[in-house]
Amino acid sequence: MKKIIAKEVNPSDVDFSFYFDDDSLKSASGENCAVYIVPADRRRYSGFNLDEYREIEQQAESLIETFTAISLKIEHYPTYKEAMLSHNIDYTSRKCSLLKEWAKYADPYNPNDIAEFLTITTGEEWAVRSFTGYSQGDYCEVVYCVNRHTPEHITEIGKFWLGCGTEFSIDDCYGYYVIDELRWEEGEKLRQYLADCYGCKPEELEVYLYDGEHIVTDYRKMD
């Protein structure tokens, strides 16, 4: 039986950008499935879906200011219902009640408060997971919809964003990604994972792991 070759990509050539091209991470369908990655220093790093995330922060901050003004009975401010609708939030009495309580303490630049804001406004549960890389400063927080993404998937996303993974080519096709913890285990668990990704049986795979590189010097005899 001819083996299917799975070969680990040289670490210097690994490219995770294709992983993040997945439409299910960007709400391309218009559903609440986007994943937002907030880096440790958002002034220096772009994060993932960060422009959209900043729009959510601005919406939340504006709503907090408006709700605070309404609660203080400042003249000329709208009702709570009008405030919600003007911020493109569908009105229900329960949603309004939850937002009023949330606005009393919320920090729009705290991902946990944004996750609560999204939970209230979308009707689906949102949460935050944090991830740390191998170098000082390698840190990010992932804001995601619990109903759309499993904990395992979010672990992959956070790890790959920080570069804590590797890439394999299988049958000369690149883009098979493996988090480091699984790569380090080697053995049949890794083989099974790669087989599941490719859609074949584990025994059909012949796996080659990256083991360093060296320069070979060629010589020719002078005539």
* Long-range Cβ pairs for the range 98-101 (8 Å, 24+): 99/63, 99/67, 100/67, 100/71
Using a 10 angstrom Cβ sphere, with 0-12 exposed, 13-18 middle and 19 or more buried, the burial of residue 26 is: middle
Name which residue leads in pLDDT, 1 or 179.
Answer: 179
47: pLDDT strictly greater than 70: yes
CB atoms within 10 A of CB 119: 17
Place of tokens 């992983």: 19
pLDDT in the model for residue 58? 96
| pTM for this entry | 0.86
Name which residue leads in pLDDT, 33 or 65.
Answer: 65
179: pLDDT strictly greater than 70: yes
CB atoms within 10 A of CB 35: 24
pLDDT in the model for residue 43? 63
Average pLDDT, the chain: 90
pLDDT tens figures, 5-42: 999 999 999 999 889 988 888 876 666 778 999 998 86
213: pLDDT strictly greater than 70: yes
46: pLDDT strictly greater than 90: no
pLDDT tens figures, 115-167: 999 999 999 999 999 999 888 778 999 999 999 899 999 999 999 999 999 99
